[in-house]
Amino acid sequence: MKKFTKIVCLALVCVFALFALTACAPNSDPDKALASLKENEYTAIKDTLIVPAALTLAGVKGIDVVISGSKVVETDDGTKGEHVTVVYFLTADAANSAWETVQEYAESEKEEDASDWKIKKFGKMIFYGTSAGIRAAM
């Protein structure tokens, strides 16, 4: 009976670990990312023309859709803008080949006082913006 209890406990730990890992994954569906941004009080849009066209001119291929969101936050120092852009690609290979070009484009979009500006890649998605903005889109 003790052996059975240990096996059941181990199985439960594995199930909880699986839930924890999948709960932290970014939104692979653009509509869910858009809803998540709006839920976190960001002004968010789904763009299939402007940013994808600019990135295509820069040599990036395989873009599916781009989600952008921004929000103004009151801080002790005044107001601060939070921003995020999520570029969804058709495949993970397209995201890998576009990684360096999108990094350069994201750096050109960076504001001078954005000290917490981040650029991250998850599978077929590339996120860039402030840390809080990226967390809100996930």
Task: Specify the pLDDT at position 66.
Answer: 92
Interstrand relation of 78-89 and 43-47 (parallel, antiparallel or unpaired) = unpaired
pTM for this predicted structure: 0.74
Which residues partner with 65 through β-bridges? 88
The average confidence (pLDDT) of the chain is 83
State the average pLDDT over residues 82-86.
90
Tokens of 94: 């397209």
pLDDT, tens digit, for every residue of 31-67? 888 999 999 999 999 988 888 888 888 888 889 899 9
Q: What residue type is assigned to position 56 of the chain?
A: T
In eight-state DSSP terms, residue 65 is E
Q: Tell the burial category of 9 from Cβ atoms under 10 Å away from its Cβ (0-12, 13-18, 19+).
A: exposed
Contact 38, 44 (CB under 8 A): yes
Residue 127: strand pairing partners: 86, 120
- Give residue-wise pLDDT tens across range 16-32: 666 555 545 566 788 88
